[in-house]
Amino acid sequence: MFGLFLSLFVWGSQVFAQDWRTATRESAHLAPTPQEEKQAVVQVYAARTFSWRGYFSVHSWIATKAKDASQYTTYHVIGWRVKRGLESVRIENDIPDRHWFGAKPELIEDLRGERAEAAIPKIDELARNYVYKNTYRAYPGPNSNTFISHIIRNVPELTVELPPNAIGKDWINDADVVGWSESGTGVQFSLLGMLGLTVGLHEGVEINLLGLNFGVDFWRPALKLPMVGRVGMTDKP
């Protein structure tokens, strides 16, 4: 455990020393190129946020590629866009697996073929009709993780759950108090992402206190901790 916190500290020190304008945004080489993969692709990513916020949370996004398409489309919510009078949702053709201003992304879910084809139009519709497109709060939400969690909850083909340190993921849909868990295998109670409880086959038991999550995954044994994330087996859809 000490080693994990030490690694987090070292990572944070390196990120703090960077300027966002010069931090790498290169591909992490986790996604197949359109030339390599002709099938439809849907991928969910998360990476540590930039600056001091990275100690506490990750930023998540979705990348899609239609069958035989020559490029990927990425879906993010970006907080600074709202401050500039723009919608928070950014949809653009881009590299799917860019480093998030110096932080290497983690591939959380990877759909290919027919399941990806079925998911892509649902993802696009949910993103374009996102209710909080003119609102952004880094804590406790709605933020970038609220946006991706909303899509995951409402696209049956996506069965992943966001990492426990994805602050904002517990803001359920339109600030619902009760809803299905992200994986669809359990239920969740949440008060505006600040206080809640999730019980599910794939989530295990997860308690949210002031936006910080503590829990145990029994399906793929692991502890879920604030700041650190998962400690144990790697999560899978």
C-alpha distances in angstroms, 108 versus 30, 43, 154, 196, 227? 11, 7, 17, 23, 17
pLDDT in tens, 171-197: 999 999 999 999 999 999 999 999 999
Q: In whole angstroms, how far apart are CA 64 and each of 34, 144, 167?
A: 11, 17, 23
> How many whole angstroms separate alpha carbon 135 and alpha carbon 209?
23
- At 41-55, the pLDDT tens digits run 999 999 999 777 778
- Return all residues near 47 (Cβ < 8 A) that are at least 6 apart: 58, 59, 99, 100, 103, 104, 105, 106
Residue 7 has what pLDDT? 52
**pLDDT over threshold 80, residue 157:** yes
DSSP for residue 53: G
What's the whole-number mean pLDDT along residues 161-166?
A: 96
Which pLDDT belongs to residue 58?
A: 96
Q: What is the pTM of this model?
A: 0.90
Helix 113-128 to helix 144-154 angle (10° resolution) is 130
- What pLDDT is stored for residue 237 in this prediction? 75
